[in-house]
Amino acid sequence: MSRRAVILAGGKGTRLRPYTLVLPKPLMPIGEYPILEVIIRQLVQAGFDHITLAVNHQAEIIKAFFQNGERWGIRIDYSLEDQPLGTMGPLKLIKDLPAHFLVMNGDILTDLDYTQFYDSHASEDRIFTISSMRREHRIDYGVLDSDASGLLCGFREKPGVSYEVSMGVYMVSARALQRIPVGRPYGFDNLMLDLLEARSPATVRPFSGYWLDIGRPDDYAQAIDEFESMKSRFLHD
């Protein structure tokens, strides 16, 4: 079965400055590999045969590194934005997308089963599927609850708040592309709100494995610390 992926690799990596002043974010190293190479190797192992890299910032450096994908035994081509188009806008520039395809950020470290994620979406013919993760945000302050007269009525010391968040890994149906405008920025948030308004909501698939967003400094530091000892979890020789 042919599997297609689009990797969003055009961001400026502002959260990782000053490192990304020299290297584009997808080429930030994790162990012996850039994070984008880890993703490409994972997709090859999952049976993908065609990857399009949606590039913008420092595109020539990314192209020089990955070229046509022959080194990894996969076809790699490129879609170049001449202006920032957000997360979903770049998909409108790619003319040969199939009925269902994977879309993901180029800075994700996860052990998600991409094959299962792809196949379950395609077999159910969903319009859009989001891989989600439960994360907890710890508030670094004592939180005060007071009433209308200003009297303390409750106190919580550094409470945690749990959220279900998008992992930046999606399965997309070609039907969803009809909602994406041409030539202007259009993000994941815009598409989700449009699908909700149309009463055709995305499907959310919770994931309980390993996931880090390398674009966040704390996650990047954790990935550097853990990758070598956990390498077999991400890459199978």
Over residues 118-175, the pLDDT tens digits come to 999 999 999 999 999 998 888 889 999 999 999 999 999 988 889 999 999 999 999 9
CA distance 55 to 7: 9
According to the model, what pLDDT value does residue 13 have?
47
Residue 69 exposed, middle or buried by CB count within 10 Å (0-12, 13-18, 19+): middle
CA distance 89 to 106: 16
Hey, is 223 helix, strand or coil?
Answer: helix
Model confidence at 37, pLDDT cuts 50, 70, 90, reads very high
C-beta separation of 214 from 107 below 8 A = yes
138 domain-assigned: no
CATH code for the domain in which residue 194 is found = 3.90.550.10
Name the catalytic one among 12, 25, 92, 158: 158
Instruction: Please determine, for residue 55, whether its predicted confidence score (pLDDT) is greater than 70.
Output: yes
25 domain-assigned: yes
Report residue 73 as tokens. Answer: 């035994």
Does the CA dihedral 211-168-40-81 come out positive or negative? negative
Q: What angle do CA 74, 80, 81 make, to 5 degrees?
A: 145
Domain count, the chain: 1
What is the mean predicted confidence (pLDDT) over 80-90?
89
160 domain-assigned: no
Mean pLDDT of the chain, nearest integer = 91
139 domain-assigned: no
Strand partners, 204: 130
154 domain-assigned: no
CA distance 139 to 157: 9
Is residue 63 part of the annotated active site? The answer reads no
144 domain-assigned: no
55 phi, psi to nearest 5 deg: -120, 160
Query: What global pTM score does this model have?
Result: 0.89
Report residue 221 as tokens. Answer: 């530091």
71 domain-assigned: yes
**pLDDT tens digits for range 166-220:** 999 999 999 999 999 998 999 999 999 999 999 999 999 999 999 999 888 888 8
Sorted by sequence, the CB contacts under 8 Å of residue 222 that are 6+ apart come out as: 212
111 domain-assigned: yes
CA distance 225 to 210: 14
Q: Which domain holds residue 24?
A: 4-132+165-234
Q: How far apart are the first and last CA of the chain?
A: 22
